[in-house]
Amino acid sequence: MIITAGALAAIRTAFSAAFKKGLDQAESDYKQIAFTAPSTTKESTYGWLGKFPSMREWIGARVVQSISEHGYSIVNKDFEQTVGVDRNDIKDDNLGIYGTMFEEMGMSVKALPDQLVFGALANGFSRLCYDGQNFFDTDHPVIGEDGQIVSVSNMAAGANTPWFLLDVSRAIKPIIYQEREPFTFVSKDKQDDDNVFYNKEYVYGTDGRCNVGYGFWQMAFGSKQDLTAATYEAARAAIRGQKGDHGRPLGLGRKLLLVVPTNLEGKALEILNAERNAAGATNVWKGTAEMLVTSWLD
């Protein structure tokens, strides 16, 4: 192949199309447990966390709900992937494998939110959320009915494979996926680009900015106990019983999602799908939650 501006433009178009094909065909699950928050700066602050919105009877003047009590921020991170194409591969018309590589690049971009979101879920036992406690913790501070601070738990300690029960009924989900700059396909393939002149290499890639963080801990329960009907029941009770400040019920639990790694799929199916339990009695937990099995937790 003779390398001309037209030939390079055609190659760029083909690589970009392969990248888009990978984006379009890849599947993702992160939106089931995370909501996307647009970001316009280096970092975004979520001062409203800790304020579950609720209605009140209008008596006297309006009561403005402050959103500045918490300074929880998520700092955007840069992500990239780059592929170099040797000039000789273009001259020798040896470009077949590159189309597959750029398709995989698109698929990896589509997979990044899953990787980050489910990674945040798995690491919630050791990473802080808006109240200064780990997202899954036994000591979340909440104002009780008497005005005193009480400690509330949304986790069960243990030594088994972690699993998670999430309330996904609200517009806000337990995990925040923050998007600053969407991923785009870029190229450095001009004949006078330094990478071409010095290294005889045409460079193509993608980059973007994003990050993840934590929303309301009340909407999630993390357990390291064995996944059984009894521990599932306890997790349900914990979420459904969560209250906001001053003892206000939050009304959670209307739509629950049981999130497990692949090695717990059988136990999850037994709890949520089986007609009868191990003792032969009616399985009262059948259909009480949806199930998400993901290899991102393996």
Instruction: Give the separation between CA 79 and CA 18, rounded to whole angstroms.
Output: 20
Q: What is the mean pLDDT of the chain?
A: 92
Q: Which of 81, 91, 52 is nearest to 69 (CA)?
A: 52
Give tens-digit pLDDT for 187-227. 999 988 999 999 999 999 999 999 999 999 999 999 999 99
At 141, list the tokens. 């501070």
Measure Cα distances from 54 to 204, 243, 244 in Å: 49, 12, 10
Measure Cα distances from 94 to 1, 89, 204 in Å: 9, 5, 16
CA angle in degrees (0–180, nearest 5) for 154-158-162: 70
> Can you tell me the mean pLDDT for 126-133?
95
pLDDT score at 49: 84
Instruction: Give the separation between CA 69 and CA 52, rounded to whole angstroms.
Output: 13
pLDDT score at 54: 54
> Can you tell me the mean pLDDT for 6-18?
94
pLDDT score at 69: 46
At 92, list the tokens. 């020798």
Q: Please answer whether residues 178 and 212 qualify as being in contact, where contact means their C-beta atoms are separated by less than 8 angstroms.
A: yes
* Cα within 13 Å of Cα(101), Cβ side: 14
pLDDT score at 47: 81
Measure Cα distances from 278 to 179, 281, 290 in Å: 45, 8, 21
pLDDT score at 52: 63
> Can you tell me the mean pLDDT for 278-295?
96
Instruction: Give the separation between CA 215 and CA 290, rounded to whole angstroms.
Output: 21
Residue 289 pLDDT grade (very low, low, confident, very high; cuts 50, 70, 90): very high
pLDDT score at 61: 60
pLDDT score at 244: 87
| Residue 70 predicted with pLDDT over 70 | no
Residue 96 pLDDT grade (very low, low, confident, very high; cuts 50, 70, 90): confident
pLDDT score at 228: 97
CA angle in degrees (0–180, nearest 5) for 244-246-252: 25
Q: Where are the beta strands (DSSP E) in the chain?
A: 34-38, 43-45, 73-75, 77-86, 140-143, 149-152, 155-156, 163-167, 175-188, 201-214, 220-223, 256-260, 290-293
> Can you tell me the mean pLDDT for 145-165?
96
| Residue 65 predicted with pLDDT over 60 | no
Q: Which of 66, 80, 68, 78 is nearest to 211 (CA)?
A: 78
DSSP state string for 65-109: --S-S---EEE-EEEEEEEEEEHHHHHTT--HHHHHHHHHHHHHH
Q: Are strands 290-293 and 256-260 parallel, antiparallel or unpaired?
A: parallel
Q: Which of 239, 211, 243 is nearest to 223 (CA)?
A: 239
Give tens-digit pLDDT for 23-34. 999 899 999 999
Q: Are strands 34-38 and 73-75 parallel, antiparallel or unpaired?
A: unpaired
Give tens-digit pLDDT for 216-268. 999 999 999 999 999 999 999 999 999 988 888 999 999 999 999 999 999 99
Q: Please answer whether residues 246 and 143 qualify as being in contact, where contact means their C-beta atoms are separated by less than 8 angstroms.
A: yes
